[in-house]
């Protein structure tokens, strides 16, 4: 599985290690690397031939772990903006069609070296998080703070690993305390830590401090830890016989293997992962041999919600294709997008109110003001406490005027239910406004020598509104404004 993206409509590839297809739109892409976990580096090997932009630490890790040609990896300093030229489309001159962008790396708080990328250009502003864990400290990052205050982030590509409500887990500091607690209960056991290649080294450091005993790691891991700047000679050993604290790849830990190790000496394993714990009554899980602690380098659902609320992007794109969630659970991303959709509708209503209120008729101006004030207050009023903001929000808001509900209930037939007096009053008032609007439009058009003085979009909205009420009233309006 790969968790990389080619940004929509742009020759920008993030954790996406494929060359443009023959006959495609672009000759090449700009390639960016967020971090060195395997689901973000598939295809980035010693045979890679294109320039890659990433953080300085990621550069060293990619050269060491993936054997990528050092000349191809360009280091970028976190918090510094870099000017780059977008690749040209096929058939266009590189000299005449050059388009420049600004790229700013930001600390992603995922693993050491991991970065987000802010892209700015004629397309607007795009933030690509890669894997990240949102925290309060990010709210004072100068680049992110500027994005929040300006409220002009066009697209947010976000790590949605744990986007569904219920995906909650403790902070990494709390999880580390839980690990130490387990260790204290097993002072004479061999303890195996289930880890990824990089990302859990802080827990191993605390384990060393707790036991005053070096931690065994394979030689390949020790090389990576040296690049991370850890005091390796003091903390780690590559000889298993020298320690009862062992590093082991997470996917290699099993009950079968632990039973075998227990035949040699008492042994337990501590798996450092959030997977499998998200819907249990306890955030920590243990059995006779394996303890699972949800030490996560990804954002929880509530942390994602805080990130969205802080950055307020106009659009959100998910990076991860699949993620763990309980059937029927709602997504904090869907909830955010629903609020955006509702806000856009309110803005449209307010905008239309201002345009309609520009008519000279005092009576009509009053009618329009009352009508739209009522509509806006309806959409700005809070939802009931038990109503979730989710994809179901579409059922709460009439997005398109072209899908009328009233005419269906008001059709004249022997079996039809009589329209309530309240509904009839609403229809009559609305139709009165429409009649007045068309009358004023005719007058204004005549006074302005038949020149159009209102936008086509405004006229279309007006005609759509008219189509809803005309079947109920039998009043036909002029179609020449279409």
Per-residue pLDDT of the chain (482 residues; tens, 9 = 90+): 678 999 999 999 999 999 998 878 898 999 999 999 999 999 999 999 999 999 999 999 999 999 999 999 999 999 999 999 999 886 665 555 568 999 999 999 999 999 999 999 999 999 999 999 999 999 999 999 999 999 999 999 999 999 998 889 999 999 999 999 999 999 999 999 999 889 999 999 999 999 999 999 999 999 999 999 999 999 999 999 999 999 999 989 999 999 999 999 999 999 999 876 544 434 455 567 999 999 999 999 999 999 999 999 999 999 998 665 555 679 999 999 998 887 766 655 555 555 555 555 555 555 555 555 555 454 444 443 333 333 333 333 333 333 333 334 344 444 444 445 655 666 666 666 666 666 666 666 666 665 555 556 666 666 666 665 555 555 555 444 44
Q: What is the β-pairing status of strands 290-293 and 267-272?
A: parallel
Which helix (DSSP H) or strand (DSSP E) does residue 215 occupy? strand 215-216
**Distance (Å, rounded) from C-alpha 386 to C-alpha 120?**
40
Q: What is the β-pairing status of strands 30-32 and 12-14?
A: parallel
**Distance (Å, rounded) from C-alpha 479 to C-alpha 461?**
13
**Distance (Å, rounded) from C-alpha 457 to C-alpha 438?**
15
Please state the pTM of the whole predicted model: 0.71
**Backbone dihedral region of 312: left (phi > 0), alpha (psi from -120 to 50 degrees) or beta?**
left
Dihedral sign computed on CA atoms, order 187, 188, 193, 198: positive
pLDDT for position 183: 97
pLDDT for position 89: 81
Q: Which domains does the chain have, with CATH numbers?
A: 5-165+300-329 (3.60.15.10), 172-293 (3.40.50.12650), 360-473 (no CATH)
pLDDT for position 383: 41
Q: Does residue 294 contact residue 273 with C-beta atoms inside 8 Å? A: yes
């Amino acid at each position: 599985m790969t968790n990389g993206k080619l940004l929509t409509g742009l020759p920008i590839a993030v954790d996406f290690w494929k060359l443009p297809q023959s006959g495609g739109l672009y000759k090449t892409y700009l390639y960016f690397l967020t971090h060195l976990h395997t689901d973000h580096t598939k295809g980035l090997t010693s045979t890679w031939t294109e320039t890659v932009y990433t953080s300085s630490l990621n550069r060293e890790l990619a050269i060491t772990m993936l054997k990528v040609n050092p000349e191809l990896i360009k280091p970028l300093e976190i918090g510094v903006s870099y000017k780059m030229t977008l690749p040209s489309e096929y058939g266009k001159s590189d000299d005449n069609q050059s388009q420049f962008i600004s790229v700013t790396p930001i600390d992603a708080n995922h693993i050491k070296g991991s970065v987000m990328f802010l892209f700015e250009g004629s397309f607007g502003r795009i933030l690509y998080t890669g894997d990240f864990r949102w925290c309060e400290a990010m709210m004072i990052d100068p680049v992110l703070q500027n994005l929040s205050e300006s409220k002009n982030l066009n697209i947010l590509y976000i790590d949605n690993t744990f986007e569904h409500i219920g995906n909650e887990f403790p902070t990494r500091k709390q999880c580390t305390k839980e690990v130490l607690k387990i260790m204290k209960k097993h002072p004479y056991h061999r303890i195996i830590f289930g880890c990824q290649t990089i990302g859990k080294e802080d827990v191993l450091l605390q384990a060393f401090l707790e036991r005053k005993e070096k931690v065994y790691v394979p030689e390949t891991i020790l090389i990576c830890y040296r690049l991370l700047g850890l005091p390796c000679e003091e903390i780690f050993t590559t000889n298993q016989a020298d320690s009862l604290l062992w590093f082991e790849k997470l996917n290699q830990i099993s009950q079968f293997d632990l039973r075998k190790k227990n035949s040699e000496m008492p042994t337990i394993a501590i798996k450092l992962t959030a997977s499998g714990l998200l819907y249990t009554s306890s955030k920590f899980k243990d059995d006779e041999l394996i303890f699972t602690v949800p030490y996560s380098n990804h954002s929880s659902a509530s942390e994602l919600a805080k990130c969205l609320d802080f950055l307020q992007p106009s659009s959100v794109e998910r990076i991860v294709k699949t993620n763990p969630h309980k059937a029927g659970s709602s997504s904090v991303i869907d909830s955010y997008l629903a609020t955006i959709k509702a806000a856009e509708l309110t803005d449209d209503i307010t905008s239309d109110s201002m345009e309609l209120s520009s008519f000279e008729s005092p009576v009509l101006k009053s009618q329009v003001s009352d009508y739209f004030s009522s509509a806006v207050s309806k959409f700005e009023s809070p939802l009931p406490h038990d109503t979730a903001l989710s994809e179901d929000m579409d059922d709460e808001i009439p997005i398109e005027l072209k899908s009328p509900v009233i005419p269906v209930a008001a059709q004249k037939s022997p079996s039809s239910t009589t329209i309530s007096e309240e509904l009839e009053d609403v229809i009559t008032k609305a139709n009165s406004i429409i009649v007045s609007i068309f009358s004023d439009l005719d007058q204004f058009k005549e006074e302005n020598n038949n020149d159009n003085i209102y936008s086509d979009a405004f006229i279309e909205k007006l005609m759509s509104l008219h189509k809803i009420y005309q079947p109920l009233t039998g009043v036909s309006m002029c179609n020449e404004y279409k």
